[in-house]
Amino acid sequence: MSSESQAPKPPNANEILKEASHHLRGSIAQDLADTSTGGISEASNQLSKFHGLYIQDDRDQRNILKKEGKEKAFAFMLRVRLPGGAATPHQWLVLDRLADEVASPSLRLTTRQTFQFHGVLKGNVKKLVQGMHQALLDSIAACGDVNRNVMAPPNPERNAIVQQVYDHARAWSEFALPKTRAYHEIYLDEELVAGGEDEPLYGPTYLPRKFKTGFAVPPSNDIDVFSQDLGFIAIIEGGKLAGYNVTVGGGLGMSHGNAETFPRLADVLGFIPPDKVNAVGEAVLTTQRDFGDRTNRKHARLKYTIEDRGISWFKAEVEKRTGFALAEARPYHFTTIEDPHGWQECADGTWFYGLHILSGRIKDIPGWPMKTALREIAAIHTGDFRLTPSQNLSISGVTPEQKPVIEGLLAKHGLTGENNRSGLRLNALSCVALPTCGLALAESERILPDILEKFETVLDAAGLRDDAISLRVTGCPNGCARPYLAEIGFVGRAPGKYALYLGASYNGTRLNRLVTPSITINDAVTLLEPVIKRYAVERAEGEGFGDFCDRVILPKDATFHSVGTDPLTLPAAVGV
Ligand code: SRM
Ligand code: SF4
């Protein structure tokens, strides 16, 4: 072996950038002040992600502007930090107004329970951040190589256990926040910290890659706990929260044609009592900080650290850092990922209303004035809003007296039927994709209604309109709508072409498998029509569509396939 091949690989460019950034400052402030362009430098783009900001350009306009020799139509996306997805009515009204005044003006609920603004022009970035700040909201660590928005079941008022879990999620979120004041200086005009500050948890280069945490309360796996880098599954014994099973190493992003990247379900590491959440979280996070791959960003998530070094090694390292051993994992059972819809009564005597919002897009269109309706509700609501992991909204903490008022407002705007949709539609997710996402290879949010209509026709004919089937679409293999955990997954490959995946379990505990690497939506409907018909007549009692595909349609010996390696021959398997 040559000495050259033994030399350690150099850190990737982002590592050098982070180290030199003076705790995430870099030249973002100067770039934002530069009025000669609507964009910012690539270095500032990488760093501003840590502050929840991405520079994007309108991809619908990209070619036209290029032909005209003009600059791209640059604008920022801003993602709010909102642990557990909770916002007050006042905060809702502020975000609603800011969307009108300085952004696209739609609001977008994300798959990790927060809001995104799109179309924020450079000159409006500080106005937006300052406006949010007035309402005690920020976008710190909403993106970047840090612990991101922490997920938790959206309705703590349901019972005392959910409330406890929610409190633990918030405490972990606070604990794992970066300490740098860069955000306050750049966007809120706070004075520069003279000597710089310390980042006790992260150090100067933060984490090798994004890091995601979620808390689940069985039987609901609404947060898709096995897709999280770090997960906590509440264990309930004798009607009390006994503690958590800790999960590590989940993650979904992959690249088409790169077998070294793959979606991975988390391992269950062991059981801990409730007061050990932060200690274990810190040990997991710092192990990844110290051992994660800082040479190759495509191999830098915790899932690869665990895959490469083994779960036993990882557990030993975590236990070394905490100073205590994790107990054996305790039994749990997940049944669903679906949000509750409509009115639900809570233990504290209040109610919440689960409102389905397709792709989490809140805007006004003729006949569907969702933004106006929610603004009017926010103006009189005395409880909270909770954003769900399925891009839906829960209007929570509603008193019995206010219930008819809120219902009246939904009725006034013709929105009471939103929850009376097909089981497929109520369980569908899509990522943003075009025109804002710079990584999209195909449409996602904009094509979802069309996909749903086509499949609804087939499902109606098979008598399956009300069956809950999860369908998730993304514009590229990064997996932002968690498509590899869907019973039917479409993953953008090229304009109009998708990789089709089938056979995940409905409760988020088994990944789906690649059926065909590139197919049009029409061809996929044709391909799946006989499968759906067979499912309608041949399924076992209570069997979900994904389980049926896994049991009957997909070959027994197949493991997860990445694109380019032996897609399953579904037509032969189905007998069409
Ligand atoms: Fe995501 C990158 C949108 C949840 C995996 N994601 C992006 C960017 C920022 C594109 C970019 O880097 O330029 C997208 C912005 C699009 C836009 O115009 O708004 C984007 N991701 C989203 C959201 C808004 C999808 C949605 O429609 O709701 C979700 C915001 C979550 C939040 O509030 O924090 C979103 N992204 C996810 C999830 C699901 C989850 O976390 O539960 C995943 C898969 C889980 C995972 O991380 O493994 C996910 N996003 C990615 C990846 C691939 C990461 C990887 O390990 O390979 C990227 C690309 C990257 O990081 O390089 C990405
Ligand atoms: Fe963009 Fe791909 Fe994420 Fe969709 S899955 S938002 S296309 S990065």
In the block, tokens 């219930």 appear at 403
Binned at pLDDT 50, 70 and 90, residue 554 comes out as: confident
> Per mean pLDDT, which range of 251-265, 293-307, 439-453 is the poorest?
251-265
Q: Which of 25, 79, 315, 493 is catalytic?
A: 79
Ligand 2: atom nearest CA of 440 is 7
Binned at pLDDT 50, 70 and 90, residue 573 comes out as: very low
**Per-residue pLDDT, 195:** 55
pLDDT at 325 over 60: yes
Which domains are present in the chain? 424-574 (3.30.413.10)
**Per-residue pLDDT, 82:** 98
Q: What is the mean pLDDT of residues 90-102?
A: 98
How much of the chain exceeds pLDDT 90, in percent? Answer: 91
In the block, tokens 């009246």 appear at 408
pLDDT at 3 over 50: no
Q: Which two tokens stand for residue 60?
A: 């619908």
Which H/E stretch holds residue 277? helix 277-291
Ligand number nearest to the C-alpha of 56: 1
Return the best residue to mutate from 391, 473, 478 for the ligand 1 pocket (most ligand atoms within 8 A of CB).
Answer: 478
Q: Which of 476, 482, 513, 549 is catalytic?
A: 476
For residue 412, indicate whether it is catalytic: no
Query: Tens digit of pLDDT for each residue in 241-285?
Result: 999 999 999 999 999 888 899 999 999 999 999 999 999 999 999
For residue 476, indicate whether it is catalytic: yes
**Per-residue pLDDT, 557:** 58
Answer yes or no: are the C-beta atoms of 125 and 225 closer than 8 Å. no
Q: Cα of 480 to ligand 2 centre, how many Å? A: 6
**Per-residue pLDDT, 5:** 58
Burial class (CB within 10 angstroms; exposed 0-12, middle 13-18, buried 19+) of 369? middle
For residue 497, indicate whether it is catalytic: no
For the whole model, what pTM was predicted?
A: 0.96
One-letter amino acid of 563: V
One-letter amino acid of 291: F
* Dist. CA 61–CA 456, nearest whole Å: 32
pLDDT at 576 over 50: no
Answer yes or no: are the C-beta atoms of 243 and 274 closer than 8 Å. yes
Residues whose CB falls within 8 Å of the CB of residue 426, separated by 6 or more in sequence, listed in order: 338, 341, 356, 419, 468
Query: Tens digit of pLDDT for each residue in 488-505?
Result: 999 999 999 999 999 999
Q: Cα of 79 to ligand 1 centre, how many Å? A: 11
**Per-residue pLDDT, 256:** 87
Q: Which two tokens stand for residue 276?
A: 């050990």
Ligand 2: atom nearest CA of 491 is 5
* Dist. CA 167–CA 165, nearest whole Å: 5
Q: What is the mean pLDDT of residues 180-204?
A: 87
**Per-residue pLDDT, 569:** 53
- DSSP letter at 500 equals E
Sheet holding 428-430, edge to edge: 428-430, 471-474, 488-494, 497-502, 513-519
Q: Cα of 479 to ligand 1 centre, how many Å? A: 7
**Helix (H), strand (E), coil (C) string for 314-335:** HHHHHHHHHCCCCECCCCCCCC
Return the best residue to mutate from 77, 81, 111 for the ligand 1 pocket (most ligand atoms within 8 A of CB).
Answer: 111
Long-range contacts at 373-377 (CB < 8 A, ≥ 24 apart)? 373/409, 373/410, 373/412, 373/413, 373/415, 374/92, 374/96, 375/92, 375/93, 375/96, 376/409, 376/412, 376/413, 377/89, 377/406, 377/409, 377/410
Answer yes or no: are the C-beta atoms of 267 and 311 closer than 8 Å. yes
Question: Is beta strand 342-345 parallel, antiparallel or unpaired with respect to 351-355?
Answer: antiparallel
**Per-residue pLDDT, 197:** 76
Binned at pLDDT 50, 70 and 90, residue 562 comes out as: very low
**Per-residue pLDDT, 240:** 97
Q: Cα of 439 to ligand 1 centre, how many Å? A: 10
**Per-residue pLDDT, 158:** 87
In the structure, how many helices (H) and strands (E) does the chain have? 19, 21
Q: Cα of 474 to ligand 2 centre, how many Å? A: 6
Long-range contacts at 346-350 (CB < 8 A, ≥ 24 apart)? 346/155, 346/157, 346/158, 346/159, 346/396, 347/157, 347/158, 347/159, 347/160, 348/157, 349/400, 350/157, 350/383, 350/396, 350/397, 350/398, 350/399
Burial class (CB within 10 angstroms; exposed 0-12, middle 13-18, buried 19+) of 14? buried
Residues whose CB falls within 8 Å of the CB of residue 67, separated by 6 or more in sequence, listed in order: none
For residue 212, indicate whether it is catalytic: yes
Q: Cα of 229 to ligand 1 centre, how many Å? A: 14
- Which protein residues are within 6 Å of ligand 1, measured from CB? 54, 56, 77, 79, 110-112, 114, 116, 148-149, 210, 212, 227, 251-253, 301, 391, 431-432, 436-439, 478-482
Answer yes or no: are the C-beta atoms of 393 and 155 closer than 8 Å. no
Q: What is the mean pLDDT of residues 311-318?
A: 98
Ligand number nearest to the C-alpha of 209: 1
Strand partners, 216: 233
Query: Tens digit of pLDDT for each residue in 26-69?
Result: 999 999 999 999 999 999 999 999 999 999 999 999 999 999 99
Residues whose CB falls within 8 Å of the CB of residue 332, separated by 6 or more in sequence, listed in order: 218, 233, 235, 245
Nearest to 49 by CA among 130, 119, 120, 145: 145
Q: What is the mean pLDDT of the chain?
A: 94
Ligand number nearest to the C-alpha of 508: 1
For residue 79, indicate whether it is catalytic: yes
C-alpha R_g of the chain: 23
Strand partners, 240: 237
Residue ranges of E strands in 436-566: 471-474, 488-494, 497-502, 513-519
